[in-house]
Structure 1
Amino acid sequence: MTDRFNNKVVVVTGGTSGIGLATAKAFAAEGASVFITGRRKDALEAAMKSIGGRVTGVQGDMANLADIDRLYDAVQKKHQQIDVIFANAGGGEFAPLGAITEEHYQRTFDTNVKGVLFTVQKALPLLRDGASIVLNASTTSVSGTPAFSVYSATKAAVRNFARNWILDLKDRHIRVNAVSPGVTETHGLNHLFGGGEQAEGTKTQLAALIPAGRVGQPEEIAKAVLFLASDDASFVNGIELFVDGGLVQI
C-alpha cells in the first residue's frame, strides 16, 4: 500500500456501501482524511467503523442541497481545503418505456444528476487548485439496457459533465474524470436484480457476456478511482474510464 493520499482531504458521497465504501476504505488506507455521506445513520456508523483511520460521516441525501451544505460545513470545521471529490452517490431502478412515472424520473435525475452537479459546484470554494474530481458514471452511458432508459440517461449526463467541467475549471487546473463501472458485485445490484437466486442467476447470465468471464468487485472500481484521483493520472483529464471486464468494448 502506498501513501499517495497522505494528508489529503477526500470526499466520497454515498460512501456507506458498495463502490463508495470500497473507495473510501482505499483512500483511508493510503493516508487520506476521508469524509463520507449516507442517508441512513446506522449504515453511516457501520461504514465508519469499517473504514477506520481518519474518517468522518455526514448523514445526508445529496439530492438535497441543504444536506450538501452540511457536508461542506463539516469539512470546513476540520480542514481548509479539499483535494479529491468522488461524486459517487446515485441509484436507479427498472422501468420500461410506457411505465415510466414522473416520480421515477424525478427521483432518478435528482439523485444522479442534480446531486452530482451540486456536490461539485458547492465544493468549488473549498477545492484547492490542482484538485481532482472523479464522477461515477456507468457503462449504461454508452450502451442500451432494457427498461433502464432513465438511469442510463442520467449517467450519460454525468459523463458529459466531465467533458464540460474540464473547460470551466481549466484555469484552476482541476481535473475531472468519469469512472464507468460495469456489472459489479454490490448490495445495490443484488437488490436491483430481485435478490436471492434471481439475482445470482442474472449475474451468471451477464458474466457469460463479459470477456473477463465474471462480474467486477467494488475494490476493483476503487483502484480505478484512486488512479484517476492521484498524481499518477496528472495528464488524464475528461476521460471515461470503463472498468467492466471489457463488456462495452465488444
Structure 2
Amino acid sequence: MGTLEGKTAVVTGASSGIGLAAAQRLADEGAHVFITGRKKPALDAAAASLGSAATAVVGDIARAADLDQLYDAVRARGRGLDVLFANAGLAVLGPLAQATEADYEQNFDVNVRGTWLTVQKAAPLLNDGASVIVNSSIRADDGWENFGLYSASKAAVRSLARTWANELKDRGIRVNTVSPGAIDTPAVDKVVDPEVASAFKAELVKGVPIGRLGRPEEVAAAVAFLASADSSFIYGANLDIDGGEHQV
C-alpha cells in the first residue's frame, strides 16, 4: 500500500516534465490524481500514460473560470482534496534594458496570480490535514542575468506559501515549497532557442556540484514526501532540489 492510498490529488501543469512526473509518483503512491494543462493533446497523452488513476481537465491556471472547472470535477468526486501540487508556471526571460511590460505580465500573471488562484480556489475543498506543495525555484534566491522577472515571480510564490502555511495551520493543512534547480525538462527548450539548448544545458551543469542536471522524477520524489504523513512536522518550509547548487 502506498503512502497516499485512497487520497485525492491535483497537479497543475501536468502535461510534461516535473508536473507529469509528480502526477505519476502520486498515482503510484495510491492517489487519484486530477491533472490540468493548457494543451489538450499533450494533457490527453499524459492522462493516457497515467491510466485510470488520473482525471484530466484542460485549463489555464491564469483563468479563474478554468480553475473553477477543475475544482468542480474534484468536488463531483465527493472526497475532497488531500494533496495539491501547484506546479504550473512559465519563464519569459530578458534583461532589464529589454524586458517588456508583456514579459512582466506573463511571468506574474501565470506564476503569481495563477498560483494564488490555484490555492485560493482549492482551499474550500482541502480536507483537514491536507498538504499543499508550491513549485518555486532556486532562481528566487540568486541574481542570474536575464532571469529577473521570472526569479521575482518565484520569490513571490515562496513568500505567499509562508503566509498560507500560517493561515491554514488551524485546519492541519501543511503548505511547503519545492525549489528545483537545473532540471532536464522540455521547459528548457522553451526558455532558450532550440539551437542553443544543448550549450545552455552544458552551462547549467557547470554550476551543479553533483555534475549533472536533475531528473523530473527526483523532484517528484520530494513532492511525494511532502504530500505524505512522513513530512507531518514540516510546515512552511522550502526544499531545494538542486544537486547542491545552492548548498555547497
Alignment TM-score > 0.5, same fold: yes
**Match of 1:238, SS?**
coil
User: Aligned to 1:210, which of 208, 223, 228?
Assistant: 208
Q: Which residue of structure 1 lines up, in the alignment, with residue 60 of structure 2?
A: 61
Deviations along 1:26-53, one digit per CA (max 9) or x if unpaired, are 1111111000001011011100011223
1:167 deviates by 1.0
**Preserved contact between residue 93 and residue 99 of structure 2 (Cα < 8 Å):** no
Q: Matches of 2:29 and 2:223 in 1, distance apart?
A: 13
**Preserved contact between residue 28 and residue 53 of structure 1 (Cα < 8 Å):** no
**Preserved contact between residue 132 and residue 227 of structure 2 (Cα < 8 Å):** yes
Higher helix share goes to which structure?
2
Q: Which residue of structure 2 lines up, in the alignment, with residue 48 of structure 1?
A: 47
1:191 deviates by 2.2
Structure 1 unaligned runs (5+)?
none
Query: What amino acid maps onto 1:83 in structure 2?
Result: D
Query: What amino acid maps onto 2:198 in structure 1?
Result: E
Q: Which residue of structure 2 lines up, in the alignment, with residue 158 of structure 1?
A: 157
**Preserved contact between residue 211 and residue 245 of structure 1 (Cα < 8 Å):** yes
Sequence identity percentage: 50
Q: Matches of 1:233 and 1:79 in 2, distance apart?
A: 26
Q: Which residue of structure 2 lines up, in the alignment, with residue 96 of structure 1?
A: 95
Q: Matches of 2:106 and 2:192 in 1, distance apart?
A: 19
Q: Matches of 1:52 and 1:204 in 2, distance apart?
A: 35
Q: Matches of 2:213 and 2:192 in 1, distance apart?
A: 14
Query: What amino acid maps onto 2:92 in structure 1?
Result: E
Structure-1-length-normalised TM-score: 0.97
**Match of 2:52, SS?**
coil
Q: Which residue of structure 2 lines up, in the alignment, with residue 36 of structure 1?
A: 35
Count the aligned residue pairs.
248
Pairwise CA RMSD: 1.0
Moved more, 60-69 or 77-86: 77-86
Q: Which residue of structure 2 lines up, in the alignment, with residue 220 of structure 1?
A: 218
Query: What amino acid maps onto 1:45 in structure 2?
Result: D
Deviations along 1:133-179, one digit per CA (max 9) or x if unpaired, are 00000001111111110000000011111211111111111100000
1:222 deviates by 0.3
Q: Matches of 2:230 and 2:9 in 1, distance apart?
A: 16
Query: What amino acid maps onto 2:71 in structure 1?
Result: Y
Query: What amino acid maps onto 2:226 in structure 1?
Result: L
Q: Which residue of structure 1 lines up, in the alignment, with residue 118 of structure 2?
A: 119
Q: Which residue of structure 2 lines up, in the alignment, with residue 11 of structure 1?
A: 10
Structure-2-length-normalised TM-score: 0.97
Structure 1 stretches of 4+ moved >2 Å = none
Q: Matches of 2:110 and 2:190 in 1, distance apart?
A: 17
Q: Matches of 1:21 and 1:236 in 2, distance apart?
A: 24
Q: Which residue of structure 2 lines up, in the alignment, with residue 25 of structure 1?
A: 24
**Preserved contact between residue 29 and residue 53 of structure 1 (Cα < 8 Å):** no
Deviations along 1:164-208, one digit per CA (max 9) or x if unpaired, are 111111111110000000010111112213224x21112112212
**Preserved contact between residue 15 and residue 36 of structure 2 (Cα < 8 Å):** yes
**Match of 2:57, SS?**
strand
